[in-house]
Amino acid sequence: GQNIDQPTEMTATEGAIVQINCTYQTSGFNGLFWYQQHAGEAPTFLSYNVLDGLEEKGRFSSFLSRSKGYSYLLLKELQMKDSASYLCAVRVSLSGGYNKLIFGAGTRLAVHP
C-alpha cells in the first residue's frame, strides 16, 4: 500500500530553525511536494523534489533521498506566521499515465515568541 508518515505536532521558537521529517513507502514515486496549510484554508505550495538532494527557496529548503524514502522540510528564521500545518505529499504514477497526490496527515507547527 501507499504510506506517508510525518510527526503530528512540533513546537519551535521565533527566529529558530525547525526540520519536519517525512518518510514514505509508495509505488510509482514521481516527486515529493511540501504544502503549508493554515486552519480552514486550502494548502499552498512550498516546494518540490524529484531528484535526490536539497532544494532551497528563501527561508524554506526541502531535501529528498529516494533510496531511503525520506524527505525533510527545513524552515529558517521562524516567524509567528509560520504556525500552520505542513503537508508532505507524494505524487505517484499509475497505469495509463495517470498521476495523483497522496498526502501525509500533516505536521502542526506552533511557533512561540
Among 20, 75, 104, 109, binds another protein (CB under 8 A): 104
Among 38, 59, 68, 100, binds another protein (CB under 8 A): 100
Whole-angstrom distance, CA of residue 39 vs CA of residue 64: 27
CB of 81 to another protein, least distance (A): 18
| Residue 29 interacting with another protein (CB under 8 A) | no
| Residue 5 interacting with another protein (CB under 8 A) | no
Among 61, 106, 109, 111, binds another protein (CB under 8 A): 106
Tell the residue number behind the cell numbers 522540510, with chain if given.
Answer: 73
What three-state secondary structure class fits 71? strand
What three-state secondary structure class fits 54? strand
Question: Which residues are CB-neighbours of 81 under 8 A, at least 6 positions away?
Answer: none
| Residue 41 interacting with another protein (CB under 8 A) | yes
CA dihedral 109, 111, 112, 113 (to 10 degrees): 180
Write out the residues near another protein by the rule CB under 8 A.
Answer: 31, 40-45, 48, 50, 87, 91, 98-106, 108
